[in-house]
Structure formats: C-alpha cells, structure tokens
Amino acid sequence: MSDRPRARRPHKKSRAGCPGSDQSEDVSSNAPIRRKRGRPRKDWSAITRDPAFHGEDEVGEGSGSATGSSPDLLLTKTSTTSPQLTVDELELLHHYLTDPGLSQGDKLMWQVKVPRLAFTHHYVLHLILAVSAFHFMRLEPDRVEHFRRLADTHHFIGIRQVTELFPRLSTENCSPLYVAATLACACGFAKGPTPGNLLVVAEGCEVPWLDLLRGVRLIVENIGLEHVFTGVLAPFPPPQPKEPIKTDEYQVEFVPWEEHLQKLSTLISAASSSTHEVYNKTYESLSQAFHETYGTSISPKSEIIGQTQVIVGWIYRLDEVFVGFIREKQPPALIILAYFAILLSTLEYFWFLEGWANHICLGITDSLGSSYKHWLQWPKEQIENSLKSRKKIDRSLEY
C-alpha cells in the first residue's frame, strides 16, 4: 500500500496500513477488554449478513465458493485442516509476495511477516489472496471477471472467520485480527467507489467494513500496538523500511485550510442545538487532522505526505451518531465529509484509494441542492489540484 515546501527530512511512513498510532496500557491475555464509547457493535456476524457486503456474484456460505467460480478452489473449503492451494491461488499468492504495489511501503511487514502469520491463521491468508485478486483486476482487464470471483470468494470467507473471532479478542489473537481487519478494509476500498457510496454510507446503510475498522480502533486503544507487534510481527516499534520512501513521489502542496475550516464552523454553529455536541466533536477532530497533515500557514509542514494513522484514524473515530447524520444526508455532515475528502486525496498513493476523494465530493454535490454549492467549491478545487499533482508525478516516473 500519494504543497509544496520540499522535503528536508526522511519520511517515516506508518507500517500499520490503516490503523492509528495510539498506545495504551498493558493488558493481560486473560483480562476482559474494556470497551469504550464508539466501540464496534457486538453483533459482528451482521457484517456478513449485510447484502451490501457481497459482490455482484453472491458467495454461498456453505460452499465457500463464488457463483461461477472454479469448483477446485481447495483453499475456499473452510476446513480447519491445512489448506491446499490451487494454481489460481498460487498465482495470487505469488503476485502478493512479489508485486511492489502490494507492499504498502513496507515489504518486510506486508510481504514477509504477514504471509508467515497467514500460514497459521488462514483467515489472513484468505484476505491476502483477496487483496491480490483485487489488484490483479486493475492489471489484467481481460481476466477481470475471473479475478473478481476469486476476490469476492476469499474476501467473504476471510471476513466471516474474522467476525467470528472478534468477540473473543485478546492479546493472544490481536496480531492476526489487526492484520486481517486492515486487509479487509483495503479490500473494501479496492472494490472501488459505486454510485451512492459516500465512504462510510452506501445506499442508505453503513458500509460493512466500517465495523472492522472500528475493530482496529478497539485493538489500538484497548490492547495497544505493543501487543500487536509481537511474535512474527515483532519488534515494536516496527523497524523502518530498508528502502526509504521517495518523498518527492508522494509530496503534495500546502493547503491553506485554516480560513476555510473557520468558515465551516459557522455552518455547524447554525445547526440544530441537539446536534451541536456531535458536530463540534467531529469538526475538532477534522481540524486536528488538517493540522497534523499540513501544519499551519505560519508553520507549514516541511514535508507534506498523507498519513494513514491520521486520516484513516479520523474515519474510525467517527461517532456513530455522525455516521447517522451522513446516512440522513444532513447538509452539515455531508459538507464536513467533503472537506475530509481533501485529506483522503493525500493517501491516493495507495492503489486501492485512487479515485475515492473525487467520487465522494461528486456524490455529495449530487446529494445537496444548489444553495450549498459554494460550500463545496473549495474541496473540489483542492482535490482537483491533488489529482493534477499526482498525474505530473506519474508522468515523471515514466522517464
């Protein structure tokens, strides 16, 4: 798993993919996990019951294979015995292990340690194969339906097994569950934006992977990353990649955000008094994310690169009430989400996030009337600028 003051120091990119960088106290493996406000819902199985979870070809729960997929998908037989990989699955595994685009900036973590973890925890292996299949869909359009069936099959089985285990979360199983939830969220993005999908809500319902992202939050805040990065994933903190990220490839320009977010606060203050607490908390969190990404006009960041722990962290900390506001298409909530899309555009160096920021902004434009058009002008401009910068970088890398 991409304005301009130029980079003056090496970039230390999060090794963890989706999760944040919060730490917490030690937790005994037998101690109950203390739940905090905003925790994932207890009914984890509802994720796989949700019709929105399934791809175009529904996966049969009993057979573990996608409609129309090859009958000899041996790994998809959800037996507890050691799986036997088919040729198709070996192709997916080889692709995952060797393609630089699937390293998420850290080959040691995602293409060495995580596969080793997957050989013991097969739901991680299913999700590795799903990520690989989704990536293959972008590379080989002639075989897109073939890889879609493989992706949907392994995605479904992996998620089903993860959701069965999450209620029994402990320090003993937090490492594979953390990795699996991160991979599952990548799959959710890799499916690509669809009409009516506003990141956390689609077709009037909360997107299924959001609960898994809250599961990442549960692990980070209640167990701690020091317990995640043990065993195969050790040491903690994770070492820096041997090949540092080429910062010029991911740098974005400074965005003068302070004045625009100050104007946004006036819109929030005009909202119903019963919604003020939730809106203010979400607004403050958004302001903090802009600050951590860009710095300020007085003290801009010397290196501006989107950070997953900041930006994806904003998503998994969203109050469920605020997600409900988005589902109801309340204008202030949608406009806050449009402003957040600017931050999301800085993460489009991850292949599975490409196109999401623009899609969200366009979807919000379609949902709001013309009276709110002026509120969306600035987010649109900033996302377009980000896309132009990305295209320039991509062209420069061709030479």
User: What pLDDT is stored for residue 250 in this prediction?
Assistant: 64
Contact partners, residue 269, CB within 8 Å, separation at least 6: 276
The amino acid at 386: S
Angle (CA) 263 267 271, round 5°: 160
Of 96, 101, 123, the closest CA to residue 111 belongs to 96
Tell me the DSSP string of 172-220: TTHHHHHHHHHHHHHHHHHT---TTB-SSEETTEE-THHHHHHHHHHHH
Count of C-beta atoms within a 10 Å radius of residue 158: 26
User: What pLDDT is stored for residue 94 in this prediction?
Assistant: 98
DSSP annotation of 77 reads: S
User: What pLDDT is stored for residue 208 in this prediction?
Assistant: 86
Distance from C-alpha of 368 to C-alpha of 373, rounded to nearest angstrom: 8
- Residue percentage of the chain with pLDDT more than 70: 74
Tell me the longest C-alpha to C-alpha distance in the chain: 62
* Domains of the chain, residue spans: 46-233, 247-397
User: Can you read off the two tokens belonging to residue 106?
Assistant: 């850290």
Phi-psi region at 64: left, alpha or beta (left = phi > 0; alpha = psi -120 to 50)? left
Output the CA torsion sign for 162, 167, 172, 175: positive
Contact partners, residue 312, CB within 8 Å, separation at least 6: 18, 19, 20, 185, 213, 347
Per-residue pLDDT in tens (0 to 9) along the chain, 399 residues: 444 344 434 444 443 444 443 433 343 344 445 444 444 444 555 555 554 444 444 343 333 334 344 433 445 444 445 668 999 999 999 999 999 999 988 999 999 999 999 999 999 999 999 999 999 999 999 999 999 999 999 999 999 999 999 999 999 999 999 999 999 999 999 999 999 999 999 988 999 889 999 999 999 999 999 999 999 999 988 777 655 555 556 667 788 999 999 999 999 999 889 999 999 999 999 999 999 999 999 999 887 788 999 999 999 999 999 999 999 999 999 999 999 999 999 999 899 999 999 999 999 999 998 899 999 999 999 999 887 776 655 544 443
